[in-house]
Structure formats: structure tokens, C-alpha cells
Structure 1
Amino acid sequence: MAHHSRPGVGHTPTLQSSAAVAGQKRPYDSSISHSSDRNGAASQKRPTPRHHAPNALNGRPTGELPRLTASRIEYADGSVTRATPSEYSQRQAFAATPTSTVDPLLSLSHPAYGLPRQLVANFAALGIKAIYPWQKQCLLGPGLLQGEKNLVYSAPTGGGKSLVADVLMLKRVLQDRDAKALLVLPYVALVQEKVRWLRNIVSGISRDELGPRPPENQPRLWARRADKDTVRVVGFFGGSKVRATWADFDIAVCTIEKANSLVNAAIEDCSVSTLQAVVLDECHMIDDGYRGYLLELMATKLLCLGQPVQIIAMSATLTNIDLLKNWLHGHSYETHYRPVPIEEHLVHNGNAYPAGTTASLLKAVAHLDTRSQFSEPGVQPVRTIKPSAHREFKDPVMNAVVALANETVRAGYGVLVFSSSRAGCESDAVLISRVLPTFAEADPAIQEKRLDLLGDLRSLATGLDVKLEQTIPVGVAFHRKSAGLTTEERELVANAYDQGVLKVCVATCSLAAGINLPARRVILHNARMGRDLVGPAMLRQMRGRAGRKGKDEVGETYLCCRQTDLEDVVDLMHADIPQLESCLISDQRRIRRALLEIIAIRLATSRESLDDYVSRTMLAHSADPDSIQENVEASLADLQKMEFITVGDDDSFEATLLGKAIVASSLDPEDGIFIHNELKQALQAFVMDGEIHVLYNFTPVHDLGGVSVNWRVFWHEMQQLDESGFRVMGFLGLRPATVNQMLHGGTLKERTPEEKGIARRYHRFYLALQLRDLCNETPIHRVAQKYDMPRGSVQSLAQTCQGFAAGMIKFCQTMGWGAMAAALDHFSDRLKAGARSDLLALAKITFVKSRTARIFWDNGFKTVASVANADPKELLPILMQARPSKVRLAERDEQKVMDKLLAKAKIIADSANRLWQIEMQRDLDEE
């Protein structure tokens, strides 16, 4: 293997020195002995160590991958070190930023904010001891702290925008024992992260301090709760085990769909009167036609209520903020403040150009011609990445990505690399890992933490991913949302990166909006998501991850692009973020759903109230009135034709039973028709001597998770069906001959609605086969292998189907189909547990799911009471059996594993105790 004459592994750090990104970084000079050559580069003094991978025998690294050398990076003057401090130095830019000693209003303890002392202390414990001047100005806007005014505001990613919403929301919740708030986020990962954050924020706050209790003869919601004097934060999202109950939370952190469903239910049963605040985070998604339009539906309903509900909308990528301000009748605020400034670069053909301003970027690109000598000073590259002799790095974009990541890590900082595909994530992670310091060179404390991470990943039911096993020992991992890794794997990787155990995280661009993982340097391995260029808003989200508050003085972004993309990338970087606009009539089905919802929950029962609702939409502030009216009339006619609503002689509106069922189950009207027909057919001939027919009804009808049918697998599984399964196929109109035809290259016709319905049934049946395996305790990774799907996709499918199943149960309950609802409910519990019926009780215990529950059962722990009465040490042998990996570990590592399992056993015993007490109380109540 060829190597450079000046190995990149010995470069002097070129990033500004400051505290490590996370944890304690080992001083660079102690890890590599070097001397400087005439250009300031360091030359290696010892042989390149071998890369280590984990050893199955003792959990320690062994083996090797061929080592590579990252390319040398030089500044314009030929040096590899920065001669002078960055012009973006935080000390220079923010030396005049006032503190709370200069401006008392920058302290959250100031009486102007009226926050409880415990809440202020909790913020301080989490590192928020003072607020920024812009946050002060925003919070003190007219009527905001009093809840009298709505708020729309925009601040850069990392600028502290969430704190403003948290303060306003908590003010509303803490001012009244019954007050409730909704915080709406677009992604499940963000919901889970926010729940953990808010629970820490409200920890220890007693509602006894917040005012007198209501009179005993006027019991209110809190009086029915055992934890009435605490602030309860609950997360609601598709596939979560929590069933949305308005009375059981004070702050609900929800995905968009769950929030809309909660508001519908609360308006219908009149419990919405306790709602005091709604936070719409990432509100720029309101013009996302696929799901963001639900934000507009929900917010418009709140505007129609005859009660004050403070709406707080925020985003890092808002352009026409005045539209939202006018729509919500609120106060608006914009800031471009960022505590950690960002240096931005465009990397092309091995040269990095400053992209600090649009003008300089365009000027630079105008001269990016291979024949140009870059004669103008303004277009000189600030850095040059030398070509590589390694064939793996012949592509200049790949070479730049690896060299820039290597430089960041060797200076002791963290780096995020955004790749365009799942396969690209793995490839980038492996190549970067081959140029970094080896496991043996890492600080002993970091070595132990990386081994612990490998152990935690290996102990998961899915086992350890082979490529993560290669890359984690040198501090590199990939994080693929939903597709490749399971939720548990992604959480472990994200936490390890956040703590500095991992230095490089390679992700698809969905991570930029899906989780909060900042870095000193962000590298974009081109600006594409698959084949398509990312949009300006997504690009800003990715670049906004650069810079860690309190740990970095500056953030850096490097967008690496190839010649064929250069013009498009420049246009992208130059492009303004698109103006927000309503998408209710961009697809008529959306306005149709909006009208059906408000009629079903009786928010609009007359033409006057319906017109009032339409006039309060964002659509009414941005579209032609005649066009709106035309769409409303057409949608009302369609809803009548579909038999979802009836219209009286006096122009009164009422939802039919079917219309109410569709709204209760959160279905779109068109999907509701399909589901209604499917369930009606099932009621006439429901196959109860097997599982497939029930599970078929759990599979989504619209969002099928991007899962394509593997017809070879379909054919094989069809051959294994029993008589019950073949009867289900017959009732659904699925023909073995068609499956055989597809196996040999045929195609399903989807030209007519009937043909589309048949194609959808084949797809749903294929998904039902996977659910059948999951319900029968087949581990996720086995199902993934069997159906040739990523493990994360199988898990995501199961979670999506759990949420859809809840909707189907509500549909049947509303229609009065109680027996069908009961059957679906039972199998919904099995799907959540990933287990057969006999394990459902055990599967409610924390950490006891599927395979683990079966091992408990086989060892005599067949009831919750038996687990609750066991000593945690009695559970250790069972948890040892449940470990998926039977590797032999060194004595010290074995003891660490035993300590972790004992801690897990205690949590299991405590959880079983709580469940047992609930069961005993229920038995007493029934007596």
C-alpha cells in the first residue's frame, strides 16, 4: 500500500486550541512524538500502530484493518498551522456581551420572570445560569409572560431558542394546578430527548407552593392523580406504550400527529378548557404537505376556541415571519445571534474557499476554472488538501472528507459527517476510522468507555453491528435514523458521541433535524440526500450543528462537492429559504380532512362557524378568497358523497358515524374509505383460528414505511402458510398464481382504483407476515435477515404498526364493533410485547420483553408477583441467560457486566413491584 512521504497522522493540530468537545482530551503531544518539518508539518517518529477490533474471547481489541494515511492539509502560505486567531474568535465577537451582574434581567431569578426558585435552580444545575440579551428582549415582549399574547420567533440553530418557549410554557403550567401544555415536535427522537430534558427541569417542584387547592366540593383533574403535587411530563408518539389520556399529564410532548389527535379528543369532550399553552417547535414544517399541514389544522382549532391558549411558534428557518405573526395574532421576534459563530467553507477539487458571504462565494466560484490561476486575491483558497496516493482516496471529495475529519479528531474535537445515503454512512465511517489514532493510542479512560459501549451494543437483543465493531474502538460510529440501526443502538451511539467517547459521528442528513448533536466541525459529503440536492432549510440545519456552546470558540462547516455539482451547490448556498405558505389546497384532500375534523368534533356545526374556522386558517392570510371558497365547496360536496357528513336544510353540519370513526382514528378521508371496506369485509368473514388476519389490519394503508415486497420471500412464506393463512389470502383476493407471476418478473398493475387496492393488499399482507414473526418472539435482527431488510426498518415498521393499530381499535370502537376492537386490542398488546399471549403480563415489566420474558417464564418466573418477590440477585442467572452474546470476557470485564446486570435486576424488581401493587389495588377495588 502506497503512503505519503509526509504522513497526515503526524500533523500538528490546526484547529484553535480550547477545551475538549466533551470529556477530557489527551494532550496531542503525549500521543504522538513528532518534529516539525520546514512547512510546520509533523513527521512520524514511530511505526504506524495496527488498528484493533474487539476480540470475541475477552472483549479486548485485537486483529487489524489495513492502516491508511490522511492527506496533508495546508494553508495558503504552505503552513499547516493558523498564523493568527480566527476573525470569528468568540472572545473578540462577544467580549461586550453583558452578564447578569451588569444586567440583572439576564438572570432567570429576576422578579420580572416570576419563576419558582426550584425551577431557576434546576435550570442552573443544567448549565443555564444566565440568559442571552435577545432571550430577555423576547421574553419581555408585550403580554408574553402574562400569557396574553401569542409569539412567533426565529433564532439560529444553537442560539438558545428552546429556552424562551420552555420558560413561557412552564409559566402557564405552574400558574394553575389544572393547567396543561402541549409541546409539538416533528420527530420521535426529539420528543424523547425533550421529555428527558423537561423532567429534569421540573424535578422537585411541588405544586403545593403554587397556590391554594380548589375546594373539596369542586374536585378538579389533579385530585384524581396520585402524583397531583408534581408536574408530570409525558411523551406521546406513534408506537409509544402510553395511551393518550388528557387527565394524566401536565405537559405533553407530542409528535405532530399525536398532538392533533389529543386536541381533537379534548375539544370533543370539553376537557380542552384546561389547555393553557401550545409550543410549535420547527414550525417551518407547517408547509410540509405530507404531515406538517396538521400543524395548521391544530393551531386553527385553538384560535377558534373561546378561551385564551398561548401559542408559541419557533424555528431556525423562518423567512416570512409576518405571515405567521398575522395568522396567530401574535408578537414576533427575530435574531441572528449565535453564541458560537460559524466559519463556513466550500471545498472543491481539494481547495477550501471561504463562504462567509454570498458575494465572496459567488466571486470565488466565478473563477473556479481549472485554467484559472486564481490571480485575484479574493478567490484564493484558504486551505488546500493534498492529493492522496491511496486508491481509496482517489476521489477528491472522499479525500477531503477523510482529511478534514482526521484533522479535527487529532486536535481533540468532535466532528459530524453528513453522508447522502445509508451505505455512504458505513463507507465513510470505515474509511475515516482507518486513518485515526488506534485503540492502543487512546487514553486508557476512553479505551474503557469504548469497550463499555461495545459491551452495551453487544448485549442488545439485535447483537453488535459488524461495522460498528470495527469503527468504535477508534472513536467512530454511524447514526442512521430509522433505516439501519435500531432505536437502542442509535441512542447508545448518540450518548457516547455527546460524552466524547466517540469523536466522529457519520449520519444521513435526517439527523440534522432529528436530534441535537452539535460538533466543532461539520463536514458535508456533498449536498445530496440520495440523488436529490437537499433544500436550503435542511442545509442550514446541517451547518447549524457546528459549534458547541461552552466547549468551542468557533464552529466550522465544510461542504465538499464535485465538479458536476458545483453550480447547483453554489445556487443552493446562495438560495433563500423558501417562503412559508399554507398547503391546505395544494392537495384538496387536506382541506377535506380539515373540514371533516372540525365537523366531527363539533367545533363547526353551522355554515357560520365553518366559515369562521376557514377565515382563521393560515390559508386565509395567503391565498385568493375565491380559490379558497371553491375548494371548500368542492370538499363539502365530496364529504357528503363519501357519506362522512350530512347537511341539514338549515345548512347545519353533522358527522356520520363513519366520519367520526375516521377522525377518531386519525385517518385521511380517502384512507378511511379503504379501511372501512376492509373491516366490513372482515366482519363478514374474520379468520380467528390464526393470527394473520388480525395483523393484516394493523398494517398502514398509506405510509408503508418504504418497504418493497421481496416476492421470493413472499412466495416462500406463502408456501409455509397453514389452511387458516390461505383462507385469509382468499378473503382478501390474493392469488398464489399472482405471487408466482411476480416472482418471475411480473408487475402489479395500478392504473385503476381497484388495481391500486389489490396492490395495496399484497403489500399489507407481506408486512403482516413480518408482524406475525415479531409477535411470535422472533428477534428483530432475525426478521431483518429473513426479509432482507435493515434492522432499524423492521423496528420502525413495528412501531408504526403499533400506532396504526391504536387507530384501528378506535375506529372499531366508534363504529360499535366491540368484538373486533377487543380482538385487535389483544394483538396490539402482543405486538408491543413482541411475545405470545402467555407473556403479556411479564412483558409489562421494564426491560422484560420478548425473548427475555420467555427466559423468565422458562425459569419459573411466570407472574409479575413472582418477579416482584424475588431478590434481585436471584434474577442475575436469568439475565445472564438472556444475553444474546456468549463471549468469554476478562475477569475485570466480567465483573463490570455483572454489576450492570445487578443494577438492571434491581430496576426489573422495582418495576414488577409497582405493577404488582397496581394489580392488588385493582383486586381490592373490585371486591
Structure 2
Amino acid sequence: MEEESLQELLNFIETIDHSLLKENSLDSVNNVKQDYDIRSPAPKRSKTLGIAYTRGSVRNCNLTSSPSKLAFDELNVSSSQELNEDVVINEFLKIKEIPNLYPWQKKCLEIVQNKNCVLSIPTSGGKTLVGEILIVKEIRLKEKSAIFILPYISLVHEKYQSLAKAAEELDFFLEEYAGVKGQYPPTKRQKNKKSIYICTIEKASKLVGSLIQENRIDEIGLIVIDEFHMLNEPSRGPILECVVSKVLYLKPNIQIFTMSATIGNIHALSTFIQGMTYIENSRPTKHSEYINIGNRIFQSFDGRTVKEIFADNLSESSSEIFRACVSTKSEAILNLVRGNVMLLIFCPSKMTCNNLAVRLQFERFPGTKEYKKQEKEDLIEALREENEGKLCANLEACIRYGVAYHHADLTLGERRLIEEAYLASTLQILCCTSTLAAGVNLPAQRVIIRDPYVGREFISLNMYKQMVGRAGRTGLQESGESIVLCKTMYDFTRFTAMMNEGPEPITSHMDPPTIVDLILEVVAANLCSKLEDLKLLVKHTLFYQLKNKEDQQEFLETTLPTLVNSLLASKGTMLTQDTDGILKLTSVATAAVAAGLSHDISLIVYSDLVQNKASFCLLNSLHMLFLVIPLEYRIPSDGILLARNKVYDRYSKFHPQTLAVAESLGVTENLVALNVTGKLKEEKKALLCRFFHACVLYDILNLDNHARVVKLYGIQNSHLQQFLNSTSYFASKVYRFCEELPELWCYKQLLTDLPQTLMYCRAPSLRALLDLPGVKIGRARQLLAAGYSSLELIARADAMEMVSKIRHLPLRTARGLISAAKLHFITEMDKVESMKALIQSLEKNYEGIVKNK
């Protein structure tokens, strides 16, 4: 019996091995499998990729005259000298093309060493470089992997590309954990090579949980958290807090290094992470902050004190600002944009961005249209490629004058192209919403805040600092300036009062539901098994530490036991307890934790799946898509706003099979007709909303032209893209949930490929290219048209040649793409080697069993 099981396992692994090679669809990986031998001291070379390996070195790929033969120059910078801290830092700075560290950065690196730390410094002060150096030191000197936590997917992509060259040359892995990407637990690497796991907050939570559960958390030596003030965000702050709390409770030998702009209660945060604070108030570049009201202008001299300034004895820069604001009665902003400077104009709404951009194109100098004229035409064509041949006429006209808008109504690909054009100075002015301030790194010589509002909410000090921090970026400008335009004295008074109050304190947004999720996570990971363990864990949360002693005692003795009892009393759906007081998860709770679903959402998903199992309709994929609609798209007010007449028109043209699925779900013609009249009950509205969101997905998967889907349902392309991303992410969670529950085995088979199908449905043939961080559909189409049809061809490409072949491709982006493609191959080859090692081990065991018989 044992022999048969082992043989089945061997056959299964061989299948995985071949499917892995097939998935990459590259003969080169087959060659790599044959030629790449990490145990040999002599380098082995792949026949097509030419990637050479020696102990402790990776070779750098350069294009040769023949695309099938590559030349590689060994980096191996440390072969002639012993590795130490100075060598490692200098290696990294050389790769990043940074001449020197600032004095404060050197001091910080000396002081921090192995201590937990909260680093507070104004935006653009250079804090991220310190975090990156600590990570490289951890990998190179201590031979430990590291986790880099960032708040947004766009920042994960940006960080991946910025570190790709260092990973390639210094011989470590970069692993992306964002969206649907990420493996739990992570793959164990050959030769004990180390990784940087670049994660969003949610993915970092699952990654840390999986490492704890598999007893592999000691593989991590450092966790770096950027934008640590995200603790203050109500929805995501508790997740980040839970990640830190679990690590602190476990007390592994892991350093926690956090970075943020100015924080009001920084010492409370350093107490929370059981570490030190490092505060640096200076900026490498000079930054002048102004506030305008009517014909008066004020300046902030220390970030808090606001004083009125006058025309006499002003610096050249201040004089220009003063004249722009007070010399005419026309709107000050029109005077501020004149001149050849890089500008970011933050507006309170998307409509304001659009209107202002259109207006500004007529205020530009006559010669502006001729500046980088060809580059602007290339950008316009790239934007059309991203949007299936279509482009907003207003945006096209603005671009020709070096102006564009940037907000959530643009697709991710469109925003990416506009960002690249701005960084290349093809565009000089961006009218943007607050989302850009918290996202990618776009520097400016001047930042204008059109109104001190974000939507209808008055701007917070933290958001203001992020916006103005874009002015005068290190290495790009010697100085920068920002100005806030206040329309009313009320706004001016409120804004200056906010400045005088100083930075906002960070608070914990953990509440009973998030604490319940934390309880389930730590019980699943075997961190806590009794109520007393949970009490000790809670003491490591910021939530607990910010309470006074009386509230702390009440929470430990009353609230926490009540929450545990509520889980035990939930008819065995979440938690059980034996006679010794040992807590264990039920199968549903185990599945919820594995899938990364909160306990309340997991119960909704479970009930939904069980209920639909009895009447699941397999005539087409519509019912399956119905099951994975995210909860926020099941509520009419929160989902894509589907016009009632569009819904009725679509229903009337349904195929008989689709009508049969609709009937099985309770969606009838009468229901759709009542929806047109607006006389539908809320429960039925929710059913119809969910069903037609599923229809949107169904049509996307079955209609070649996505523009038809946009027209059919009257929705914006950017909203459609966001819907697809959200649904693919939720579908991956539902699949993982089903995978853990034997009673839902049928769904596991149906949902296996759905998350990836939804993620790449706009262009399934471009899937391999879209796997590169930051590459969207338009750029993928450009790569394909230029002859770069696979990651193999990108990996061996020359950056300058790639730029010459592709319209609107900055050299910096091309280099990032090539480095990322090389890293992909190194990662895939390591997977193949891992499979080979496992097969060889099992074969030896198998031979031993046969021999003993």
C-alpha cells in the first residue's frame, strides 16, 4: 500500500513538473532543467537563456548580436573582498546609482542596528532608502529573508521594479504579494537563497500567518513597513496592527522597522513595537509652503507657524508666487501655471480635475504645443492602445499642450502611461485627486492645492503633508514650493488652525469584529490555545496599550471572554473548546482563515454556497460567476450603477440558456420589469444587482469586444476594470475557502481557474506579459507588436533597442521590464530545481522500499 501511494505521489509530482514547464511555454526552461546544476562549482549555462550560476553569484544578462546566444558578465562584486556592512551598502548604492547617503541616514543605520524602530521624517526625506538598505543587509549579512509591507498595489509594483536590478545582481529573489499573486506558505528556495516578499497589507497578514502556522517564521529576519500611519485607516489599519501584534507576541528574532511622515504620538507607536524612535525634521531639498486668501499670501516657516508676507524683501521664488496671487483679479492658479515648471495641481473632485485641465490648455505659452510634439503623439497612441482604440477628446487635446488629468475614472493602464509621461517631462502639468499623493512617486517643482478639500471633507494634515511632499524631490530639484488656495476666510482660518495644531495622533481602529478575526487567526496558527493566551496576545496590540488601566482591565476580564463565548455559542460554526479549555477552530473557521475572509463574511459565503449547491445550474458559467460577486457589488448603492433601461434591454436579448439560469436564481421578467418602474423591494433589488453584475462578467468572458460590454450596460471602462480586479481577488478567496471544506468539493473543481481567467480576460493571449509588475494591457500590446512576445525575449532584450521600437516607453521603464523578466526566469528555474530535488528524494525513498521488500 505504501509503495502504491509513493508511486502515485511520484507520478503526480512529475505531472506538476511538466505542467510547470508547459505553463511557461519556453523550451529554454527545459534546457535549464537539464543544464542548471547548483551543486556544481563550475557554472552551467542554459542553452537559450545563457544564465550562468556559481556559488554566491548571479550573472548579469547583456544582449549579443544573436538573440539565441547571450553574453553574461559576472557581477560577483564581493568575491575580492570579505562581505561587511560597508561593502554591502556600497554595492547597493552603486546598483541604485546613488552617490552617497545623507548624514542622517548614516546615523540612523548606525543607531538602529537590530532594534525595532519608528522612523519619522517629512515626505521625500529619504526614509525608504534606509529601509531598503536594512533589507539588503539582512539578506547579505544575516542570510535571512525580509518582508516589505506597502499600502497599495501600485506601490508594490513600483517597489518590485526599483529593486529588480539589485535582486538580479545580488542574487536574491523578489516575490510579489498583491492582488491575486502570492503563495501560502511561500516556496522554499534552493541553495537556501533568500527572498524579499513585497506585500500589500492584506497579503502580508496572510503571509505571516502561513509562516507561523508552518513553523517557518524564523526564515524572516526583518519586516519593513512603509506608511506606518496607515494604522489610522479604519478599514485596513486593524489588519496591519494584527500583523505587528502577532509577531511581537511570538517574540521571534525579527526586527520591525517602520517608516512614516510626521506622527503626533510617535512615542506611543515605538512603545507598541517595543522599540525606539528616530525623528528627522529636515528635508534634503528646500521647501517653501504658502497659503493664499484673496489678495493676501502667507508662508509657513516651520510647518506650523503661519505668517503673512509682503512684496518687500522676498526671495525670487516667493516674489513670483506673490505676484501670481495678487497682481491680477483673475484666478491665481492661471498665473501660477505660467512658466516651464513641473506642476501637480490637487483638486477636490474628478470633475474639477477635468474642467481645470481643459481650461489650462488655453493658458499655456504658444510654443508649448511644439515641445516634445512627437512624444505627445506617442503618448496619445499608447493611451488609445490601452483603451481599445478610444480616447477622451478632451484628454487628447490637453496632452498636446503638456497637460493631463489623473484620477480614478482612468484605468490603471491609462494612469500608468500618464505617470510615465510626466516623469519623462512629456507632460508638465497634472491635475489630480488626492489618490495620487498616497500612490506612486511623482515629483514636482510646484504643488498647487486647488481647494483644501478631499471630496466634501476638509483636508487632513497628513494628506496635506503627502501632497506638498511631492514638491522638491531629492535628486530632481534643488528646491520646491507649494501653495494652498483658500476661497473663503472660513477655509483659511480652519486650515491655519490645523497647521498650528500639529500632526495628528495615531489611534487604533480595532473593534470587536476585528478582534474576533484576530482570535481565529492566532488559534489557527497555534499561537494561542486558551483564553489566558489570548489575554497575553491582546496586551501586544496598540488597541490595548492606548486604553487607560481601568478600560484595559475591563477588556481582559469582561469583553474578551464575552467575544470568545460568542464564538463558542455560534452553534459550532467557528470555535470549539474541550474540557481542558483548549480552543480549536471548526472546519468553517479554518477555511475562513485560510481564505483571508473575516468571520462574518465567511458565514455569508458559506451559507450562500451551501444554499446554491442544491440547485446549481451548469448550462453555462453564469451561475458560477453569480457566486463570486464581491459583497460590495451586491448592494445597488455600492456597486456599478447599472441603468434600469440597460438592464431591461439586456434581459430581453438573453439566450434561452441564460434565461434558464436567471429563472433558477429567481430573476424573472416580471422582476426586471418592476425594476424599470422603481417599485422593487430592497431584497429583490439586491438580487437583481448581483445577477446583472454576474451578467457583466459573463459578457466580458464571451464577447471579444469589451467596448461592447461598456456600451451594453452603460458603465465606465475604469469602473469595469476595478470590478474585474475586485471579483478576481474575491474569487481567489472563495476558491481557497472551498478548497478547505470537503462538503464544497464541487465548487473547488469549478473555481480552479476562475480568478486568473477574470484577471486576464481582457487579453488572455497576453497573460505572460501582463504578469510583469506594472504592465497593463496597452503596454503588453505594444511589447507584442514590437516582437517581444514572451518574457524570454524581454529578458534578453537591450533597453535602448526596446525604447526605439516602442512608442512612449521611457528608458527607465524599459530597464525595469528587462530586470523583472530576468528575475522571473531565475524564479522559475528555482521552482524546477525544487521539483527535481523533491522527485530525486522520493525516488530514493521508493527504491529503498522496493529494495527492502
TM-score, normalised by the number of residues in structure 1: 0.70
Matched to 2:526, the amino acid is R
Matched, 1:620 2:585: no
Look up the match of 1:669: 599
Q: Secondary structure, in 3 states, of the residue corresponding to 1:140?
A: helix
Contact 2:575 2:585 (C-alpha < 8 Å) held by counterparts: yes
Partner of 1:385: 325
Task: Mark the CA change 1:439 to 1:776 in structure 2 (over 3 Å): closer, same or farther.
Answer: farther
Are residues 271 and 827 of structure 1, via their aligned partners in 2, closer, same or farther at CA, if it must alter by over 3 Å? Answer: same
Measured against aligned partners, the alpha-carbon deviations of 1:459-508 in whole angstroms (never above 9, x if no partner) come to: 3243333222111122111221xx21122211111111112221111110
Tell me, in whole angstroms, the C-alpha distance in 1 between the residues paired with 2:824 and 2:94.
35
User: Percent identity at matched positions?
Assistant: 25
The aligned counterpart of 2:392 is 465
| Deviation for aligned residue 1:112 | 13
Q: Kindly provide the amino acid, as one letter, of the partner of residue 689 in structure 1.
A: L
2:183 matched to 1:237? no
Letter matched to residue 232 of structure 1: F
State the Cα deviation string for residues 334-373 of structure 1 (Å, max 9, x = none). 1111011221111222443223357863x759x9xxxxxx
**Structure 2 vs 1, CA of residues 614 and 242 (structure 1 numbering), >3 Å: closer, same or farther?**
closer
Describe the SS at the equivalent of 1:679: helix
Out of 522, 525, 535, the position equivalent to 2:460 is 535
- 2:568 corresponds to 1:640: yes
Pairing of 1:418-497 with structure 2 (within 5 A): 418-438=346-366, 442-443=370-371, 446-463=372-389, 464-480=391-407, 483-497=408-422
User: Cα 1:364–1:763, aligned 2, differ >3 Å: closer, same or farther?
Assistant: farther
Aligned equivalent of 2:316: none
Deviation at 1:702, TM superposition (A): 4.1
Gap change, CA 1:335 and 1:918, over 3 Å in 2? closer
Task: Report what 1:191 is aligned to.
Answer: 156
Q: Pick closer, same or farther for the CA change 1:317–1:783 going to 2, 3 Å.
A: farther
- Secondary structure (helix, strand or coil) at the match of 1:152 reads strand
For the Cα contact (< 8 Å) 1:185–1:254, is it kept in 2?
yes
Letter matched to residue 680 of structure 1: V
Partner of 1:128: 98
1:182 matched to 2:136? The reply is no
Counterpart Cα distance in 2 of 1:441 and 1:655: 65
SS at match of 1:474: coil
1:503 counterpart residue number: 428
- 1:776 matched to which residue of 2? 702
Query: What is the CA deviation profile of residues 656-694 of structure 1, one whole-angstrom value per residue up to 9, with x for unaligned ones?
Result: 000011111111111111111111112212122211111
Q: What residue identity is the alignment partner of 2:336?
A: L
Superimposed CA distance per residue, residues 801-853 of structure 1 (whole angstroms, 9 cap, x where no aligned partner): 11111111100001123331121123223212216xxx967744659999999
Indicate which of 140, 143, 147 corresponds to 2:110: 140
Change over 3 Å in CA distance of 1:706–1:542 after alignment to 2:
farther
The alignment status of 1:711 with 2:639, answered yes or no, reads no
In structure 2, distance between residues paired with 1:552 and 1:589: 47
Q: Alpha carbons of 1:731 and 1:306: their partners in 2 closer, same or farther (altered >3 Å)? A: farther
8 A contact 1:596–1:639 mirrored in 2: no
Q: Aligned equivalents of 2:221 and 2:412: distance in 1?
A: 33
How far apart in 1 are the matches of 2:791 and 2:124? 48
Kept in 2: contact 1:798–1:831 (CA 8 A): yes
CA distance in 1, matches of 2:776, 2:164: 29
Amino acid at match of 2:124: G
Separation of aligned partners in 1, 2:780 and 2:196 = 36
Q: Determine if contact 2:324/2:332 at 8 Å carries over to the other structure.
A: no
CA contact (8 A) 1:150 1:328 kept: yes
Q: How far apart, CA to CA, are the structure 2 residues paired with 1:722 and 1:326?
A: 62
* 741 and 918 in structure 1: CA distance in 2 versus 1, 3 angstrom threshold: farther
Offset at 1:114? 3.2
SS at match of 1:354: strand
Counterparts in 2 of 1:536 and 1:815: CA distance versus 1, 3 Å: same
In 1, are the aligned partners of 2:173 and 2:196 still within 8 Å (CA)? yes
Alignment of 1:35-54 (within 5 A): none
Native 8 Å contact 2:729 2:755 kept in 1: no
Amino acid at match of 2:431: V
Amino acid at match of 1:712: N
Q: Secondary structure at the match of 2:169?
A: coil
Following superposition of structure 1 onto structure 2, how do residues 833-848 of structure 1 map, counting pairs within 5 Å? 833-834=760-761, 843-844=767-768
Matched, 1:401 2:328: no
Q: How does 1:356-371 map to 2 (within 5 A)?
A: 356=301, 361=306
Give the match for residue 715 of structure 2.
789
- For the Cα contact (< 8 Å) 1:715–1:743, is it kept in 2? yes
Structure 2 CA distance for aligned equivalents of residues 914 and 777 of structure 1: 37
From 180, 190, 214, give the equivalent of 1:269: 214
1:519 aligns with 2:444: yes
TM-fit CA distance, 1:916: 12
Are 2:753 and 1:826 aligned?
Answer: yes
Post-superposition shift, 1:697?
A: 2.1
Secondary structure class of the residue paired with 2:430: strand
Structure 1 position 652 matched with structure 2 position 652: no
Instruction: Name the CA distance, whole Å, in 2 between partners of 1:402 and 1:840.
Output: 45
Asked if the contact 2:348/2:450 (under 8 Å) is kept, the reply is yes
Aligned to 2:121: 155
Distance 1:601 1:739, change over 3 A: farther
C-alpha distance after superposition, 1:215-252 (max 9, x if no partner): xxxxxxxxxxxxxxx21112211244878734367011
Structure-2-length-normalised TM-score: 0.76
**Structure 1 gap segments, 5+ residues each:** 1-107, 206-229, 368-380, 390-395, 750-754, 873-892
Q: Structure 1's 304 and 910: CA in aligned 2 closer, same or farther, altered over 3 A?
A: closer
* CA gap 1:335/1:919 in 2 versus in 1, 3 angstroms: closer
1:53 is matched with which residue?
Answer: none
Shift in CA distance, 680/744, structure 1 to aligned 2, threshold 3 Å: same
- 2:263 and 2:92 mapped to 1: Cα distance? 31
CA contact (8 A) 2:285 2:472 kept: yes
Letter in structure 2 aligned against 1:637: N
CA distance in 2, matches of 1:855, 1:341: 42
Q: Which position in structure 1 is the counterpart of 2:559?
A: 631
Counterparts of 2:241 and 2:106 in 1: how far apart (Å)?
A: 28
Q: What amino acid is the match of 2:726?
A: T
Please say if 1:811 is aligned against 2:737.
Answer: yes
* Contact persistence 2:645–2:676 (CA under 8 A): yes
Residue 447 of structure 1 deviates from its aligned partner by 2.3
Q: Label 1:299 to 1:855 Cα distance change in 2 as closer, same or farther (>3 A).
A: closer
Q: Any conservation in 2 of the 1:134–1:335 contact (CA below 8 Å)?
A: yes
Deviations 1:243-273 (A, max 9, x none): 8734367011111111101111221222222
Secondary structure of the equivalent of 1:344?
A: strand
Q: Is the 8 A contact 1:195 1:235 kept in 2?
A: yes
Say yes or no: does 1:201 pair with 2:166. Answer: yes
- Alignment correspondent of 1:167: 133
SS of residue paired to 1:319? coil
What secondary structure sits across from 2:271 in the alignment? helix
Which amino acid counterpart does residue 670 of structure 2 have in structure 1?
A: A
CA distance, structure 2, for counterparts of residue 506 and residue 914 of structure 1: 40
Contact 1:276/1:310 (<8 A) preserved: yes
The 3-state SS of whatever aligns with 1:834 is: coil
